[in-house]
Amino acid sequence: MQKPPPRTTRPTRARIMMSPMTGIQDFLGSYISGNFQNEESFSTCAPDTENTTGDFREIQKQKNDKTPIKEQKKRGHMDLEKEKFQESQFGILKKAKIQEPQFMCCSENPDLSYSSFNHQCTSGAQDCRIRPEDVYWVPRKQKGEFQEAVCTTCFKEMRNKDGWIQEKNINEKIEEIFKCQKCSGFWHQCCSFFYGEPEDFVCRNCAPEAYKLVLDEPGSSRDSNFIEERINGFLKSSLEIDQEFQKISVRTYYSEDDFVKTGDLAPPSWESKFIAEYGTVIKFASRAIHVFQRQDNVDQIVFSLFASEYRNPGKSWMVIDCLDSIKMFQPASLRTQIYQELVLIYFDLARKIGLSDSFLWADPPVQGDDYIFPVKPANQPSPTPTMLENWYLRVMEKGKSDGIIKEFRSFTEEKEFKKFKKPTDIPIFQTSLWSPLMIAHDVGGKPQKLWRAMSVEWKSHGSDNWFIEFNKVAKDEQLERMCQERFHEILLKKEEMQYHCWENNWQFGTPRRARYASVGLINLM
């Protein structure tokens, strides 16, 4: 799990926080002021002057002034009307101060805080987390990209605590209120689908043509069309009579230019042997698959998958590095089936472009961590290891019955089947389970001891990762030709996409915020 990004200080001009009442008060203030000035300007008499001398003769003189009675009545009437006008306008302003402004979008509370998320405790414990609302400790002065943060439990065990200060894991950002520059209507940021500067905001009612809430038709590539057609067909055939069909759209990104140094994956005492087996670098292609569903005229992202594809002479395979979903697919009764079918459709695509095998590892995140999408719905907890293992087993069993998968074996079964006897018998690749474990157990640099030291891992990971063999199928030359560069600096890499969501507070805990984040992703495409 990548450590969440450190807090950054944004330029003040980037986001101007505006109180919901600011626009109304400014408007009423100028309106009242302007009317008072106009009232004074058309008055035919000067305002009353207060007599502070107490001089009886001056008072008597004023009393004996021959001001026409009609003029006095007019003046008194206008003063009374002016006083009433002042009272009415100040009454409106006072009422505006205690009432919420009228929003053009929804009726939710405008003071909407963003959720926080797990931070990784940097004390060294791999699964130690600083959870939302937890107190934690940081050095008073930190330099460099790496930022230390230690949970309270680990901090108590530290010896040197000088120079550390206490913080709390909260998200200090508040969802902004935008005021339309044309109609002056108020909008919550996540209702607005606007991603620019507040002073440039023109709402969807005033400029509907400026907003893109759905993906263009058709898909961007042949492989995305392949997945899209298959999954929509599966959805239509699975719906009950009274269930509505809501279209699914797919976008894929692909790059062949990735590689990892073999020495970075191999245990030091066996590095030369792994290099002899794999070469100095292991090349692979990266693929990202993003799946949206049309809901309330917005394409809502519901599923993403990141994979690596390896093409070596004599053998080629693919690995699902990470997949994640949002519990918002409709109808909910088909959600699990749809997500599992998406994995099988990708398996079928993989074998049609010449990949013969796959490795799969059920590796659930630490409870509360984000796989890909930050801040899930409250009713979507992270799966337990057993739940995820069973989920993948159902996928593979259906893949076998559908004729996509020829055979799948757990690591324990594969170890017996292939008669693994040495570390180089175990495949290594980017995001491999076994590579970091072999490096961790390679103590003292003695090759003969590594295999024995790994025996403890055979049992604990014997059933949570699988070797999959696809049924052979004729290559689809058109599909294979479509494995061309479609690079995206954000949407092709899980870490980049996740960081971008973190940085922009694109969260998926509620439908309103999930759709705002989804349209934000669409605007990147």
Q: What confidence tens digit (pLDDT) does each residue in 123-152 have?
A: 888 889 999 999 999 998 877 777 899 999
In a domain, residue 18? The reply is no
**Same domain, residue pair 317 and 232:** yes
What CATH number corresponds to the domain at position 188? 3.30.40
Q: Rounded mean pLDDT of 455-468?
A: 93
In a domain, residue 61? The reply is no
CA distances from 163 to 129, 160, 166 (A): 22, 9, 10
Q: Which two tokens stand for residue 378?
A: 């409250």
Alpha-carbon distance 292 to 224, whole Å?
Answer: 12
CB 275 within 8 A of CB 268: no
In a domain, residue 78? The reply is no
Confidence at residue 146, expressed as pLDDT on a 0 to 100 scale: 76
CA distances from 152 to 121, 127, 169, 170, 382 (A): 10, 15, 12, 15, 24
Q: Are strands 248-261 and 281-295 parallel, antiparallel or unpaired?
A: antiparallel
Q: Are strands 465-470 and 405-410 parallel, antiparallel or unpaired?
A: antiparallel
Question: In the chain, how long is the greatest CA-to-CA distance?
Answer: 124
In a domain, residue 352? The reply is yes
In a domain, residue 79? The reply is no
**Same domain, residue pair 283 and 370:** yes
Confidence at residue 83, expressed as pLDDT on a 0 to 100 scale: 57
In a domain, residue 259? The reply is yes
Alpha-carbon distance 254 to 110, whole Å?
Answer: 40
Is residue 63's pLDDT more than 50? no
In a domain, residue 236? The reply is yes
**Same domain, residue pair 270 and 347:** yes
Percentage of the chain surpassing pLDDT 70?
Answer: 78
Q: Rounded mean pLDDT of 270-274?
A: 94
Q: Is the peptide bond before 374 cis (omega within 30 degrees of 0)?
A: no
pLDDT digits (tens, 9 = 90+) for 68-110: 444 555 555 555 555 554 555 455 445 444 455 678 888 777 5
Alpha-carbon distance 467 to 430, whole Å?
Answer: 16
Indicate the residue type of 392.
Y
> Is residue 287 very low, low, confident or very high in pLDDT (cuts 50, 70, 90)?
very high
Q: Rounded mean pLDDT of 165-184?
A: 94
pLDDT digits (tens, 9 = 90+) for 205-250: 999 999 999 998 766 788 999 999 999 999 999 999 999 999 999 9
Alpha-carbon distance 34 to 36, whole Å?
Answer: 5
**Same domain, residue pair 178 and 324:** no
Confidence at residue 110, expressed as pLDDT on a 0 to 100 scale: 57
**Same domain, residue pair 437 and 467:** yes
Confidence at residue 396, expressed as pLDDT on a 0 to 100 scale: 98
Confidence at residue 444, expressed as pLDDT on a 0 to 100 scale: 76
Is residue 20's pLDDT more than 70? no
Q: Are strands 315-325 and 357-361 parallel, antiparallel or unpaired?
A: parallel
CB 224 within 8 A of CB 215: no
**Same domain, residue pair 131 and 276:** no
Indicate the residue type of 436.
P
- Comparing C-alpha atoms, which of 485, 491, 495 is closest to residue 256? 485
Please tell me the total count of domains within the chain.
3
In a domain, residue 396? The reply is yes
Q: Mark which of 182, 211, 240 sits at the end of a domain.
A: 211
> Is residue 476 very low, low, confident or very high in pLDDT (cuts 50, 70, 90)?
confident
Indicate the residue type of 265.
L
Q: Rounded mean pLDDT of 166-173?
A: 94
The predicted model scores a pTM of 0.78
67-71, 100-104, 251-255, 466-470: range with lowest mean pLDDT: 67-71
Confidence at residue 99, expressed as pLDDT on a 0 to 100 scale: 53
Q: Rounded mean pLDDT of 456-466?
A: 93
Alpha-carbon distance 321 to 305, whole Å?
Answer: 8
* Alpha-helix runs per DSSP H in 353-433: 385-401, 411-418
**Same domain, residue pair 291 and 207:** no
**Same domain, residue pair 197 and 277:** no
Is residue 59's pLDDT more than 90? no
Is residue 513's pLDDT more than 80? yes
Alpha-carbon distance 254 to 287, whole Å?
Answer: 5
Q: Look-up: residue for tokens 């439990």? A: 153
* More confident position, 478 or 311: 311
**Same domain, residue pair 134 and 231:** no
> Is residue 61 very low, low, confident or very high in pLDDT (cuts 50, 70, 90)?
very low
**Same domain, residue pair 184 and 197:** yes
CB 378 within 8 A of CB 509: yes
Give residue 334's domain range: 222-522
> Is residue 339 very low, low, confident or very high in pLDDT (cuts 50, 70, 90)?
very high
Is residue 6's pLDDT more than 90? no
**Same domain, residue pair 401 and 488:** yes
Is residue 45's pLDDT more than 80? no
User: If you average pLDDT over every residue of the chain, what do you get?
Assistant: 83
Confidence at residue 166, expressed as pLDDT on a 0 to 100 scale: 94
Q: Rounded mean pLDDT of 314-335?
A: 94
54-63, 75-84, 405-414, 420-429: range with lowest mean pLDDT: 54-63
Percentage of the chain surpassing pLDDT 90?
Answer: 64
Is residue 21's pLDDT more than 60? no
Q: 213-243 burial, b if ≥16 CB within 10 A, otherwise e?
A: bbbeeebbbbbbbbbbebbbebbeeeeeeee
DSSP string, 57-77: HHHHHHHT----HHHHHHHHH
41-50, 213-222, 281-290, 398-407: range with lowest mean pLDDT: 41-50
**Same domain, residue pair 426 and 306:** yes
Angle, CA of 225, 228 and 231, to the nearest 5°:
150
